[in-house]
Amino acid sequence: MSPLFEKFGLFQLTFRSCDVLCAHAFFRPAGFVPHFMWVVVELSRRIMAICSLSLSLFASVLWVNRSYVGAFFGNSIGAPPIEETTAHTEPEGDVVVRLAVAGDVGTGDAAAYKTAAVMDRLDQQRDFDALLLLGDNIYENGDPADVVSKVFEPFDPVLDRETQLLAVLGNHDVDDGFGPAQAKALGMANAWYSTSIEDVTIVALDSNQADNPDQLAWLRATLSAVDTTWTIAIMHHPAYSAGWHGSDAKVQKHFAPLFAEFDVDLALSGHDHDYQRNNPIDGVTYVVTGAAAKLRPAGSETFTAVSWSTPSFVDLAVYEDRIELQAVDHSGRSIDVFELSAQ
C-alpha cells in the first residue's frame, strides 16, 4: 500500500466527509432558500469536494509510485521469438568451473520444477559445481518450514551429484523475520559470505541491508584480498535493472562502487522476474535472472544489452581466460549468449 494511503487514510477521509455532508443536509441558514434546494446545493458542493480530494490523492499516489506505474505501462517485452534464440551448447575444453544461476525460485510449483529439470538435462556431460540461488527462495514469507518443498525437492536433480548450494536472501525471505532461520536451513554461513571454487571467488551479499556498515567493511576487506582470476558477486536486488522494480538505489550507491574499484567481473541478481544483461558499467557486467518461477514483462534502459521475459536461468562456464554465459529458457534454448574475457 502506498505511504499516502497509510498516512492519510483515503477511506477514512471519505467516510468523514460523508458524515459532515449528511449533517449539513439537515441544517441551513435562515432565509428564503427552500430546504430541498439547500440540500441539493450542499450535496453537489460536497460531492465535488470529495471528488477533488480523491483525484488529488490518486495523483499523489501515482507520483509516489511512478516507477511501478511506469513499469506497468512501459514494460512490454515478453519472450523472444524463436529466431532470436539459439541451440544451447555444452561447455567444451578445459572448463574450470560450471555454475547454474537462478533467482526467485521459491514457489515450489510447476515452473520451478521445470527450471530444475532443464538444468538437470543440461549438466549430463559436465556437472554444475554449484547452484546459485539469488533470493526469494521461499515464497511468500521465507518460512524455513517450506525449505524442502520449495528448494530441496524441486532442485534435487541438480543437487544430487554433490553440487554445492550457494544462496542469498531476498526481501520475501526476511520481511517476516525468517531470514536467519532460512539462512541456516540453506547452509549459509551468514547473511553475507564468500567462498572459492577453483579459480573463482563468489561473494554472496545481503542486499536487504546494502547500507549495513559491517557488511560494507567486510565487503571491502574481502574484495581487496581476492587472489583468483574471477570474482562473481551475487545478491537479490539489482544495482541496474529495467524491470518492474528497477534499479535498487542502495545497492547502486553502496555495492556498485566497490565492485568497480575491485574489478568484480559479474554481478548477478534476481528480484525482477525477467532476464536482463546490461552493457558493462564501470567495467562490471550486471545480469538479472529472476525468472526461474515467476514472470513480469521486461523493459529496457540505456544500459540494457538484452532483456526478455521468459522462464529461464543462467548457465555459466568458467575457463581460465573467459566466462561463457548462456541464459536458457524452458525449451532448453539459449535466449542470450555472451562471452566475458578476463580483465
- pLDDT single digits (tens) 269-325: 999 999 999 999 999 999 999 999 999 999 999 999 999 999 999 999 999 999 999
| Contact status, residue 328 vs residue 122, Cβ threshold 8 Å | yes
Across the chain, mean pLDDT equals 87
- What pLDDT band is residue 34 in, cutting at 50, 70 and 90? low
Map residue 269 onto helix, strand or coil.
strand
Q: How far apart are CA 256 and CA 274, in angstroms?
A: 21
Q: How far apart are CA 240 and CA 269, in angstroms?
A: 9
Q: How far apart are CA 222 and CA 262, in angstroms?
A: 10
Strands (E), the chain: 86-87, 97-102, 130-133, 164-167, 193-197, 200-204, 230-234, 266-269, 275-278, 285-289, 304-308, 312-318, 322-329, 333-341
**Quick one: three-class SS letters along 278-323?**
ECCECCEEEEEECCCCCCCCECCCCCEEEEECCCEEEEEEECCCEE
State in Å, rounded, how far the first CA of the chain is from the last one: 44
Scanning the structure block, which residue is given the C-alpha cell 510447476? Answer: 110
pLDDT recorded at residue 1: 38
What does the pLDDT look like over 195-243, one tens digit per residue? Answer: 999 999 999 999 999 999 999 999 999 999 999 999 999 999 999 999 9
pTM beyond cutoff 0.85: no
| Residue 35: all three cell numbers together | 430546504
Q: How far apart are CA 76 and CA 241, in angstroms?
A: 15
- What pLDDT band is residue 6 in, cutting at 50, 70 and 90? very low
Domain coordinates in residue numbering, the chain:
3-64, 82-341
Q: How far apart are CA 235 and CA 270, in angstroms?
A: 7
What are the Cα distances from residue 247, in Å, to 68, 170, 204, 240, 262?
12, 15, 19, 4, 21
Scanning the structure block, which residue is given the C-alpha cell 539489482? Answer: 238
Task: Evaluate whether the domain defined by 82-341 bears CATH number 3.60.21.10.
Answer: yes
| Contact status, residue 120 vs residue 113, Cβ threshold 8 Å | no
| Contact status, residue 162 vs residue 298, Cβ threshold 8 Å | no
pLDDT recorded at residue 148: 98
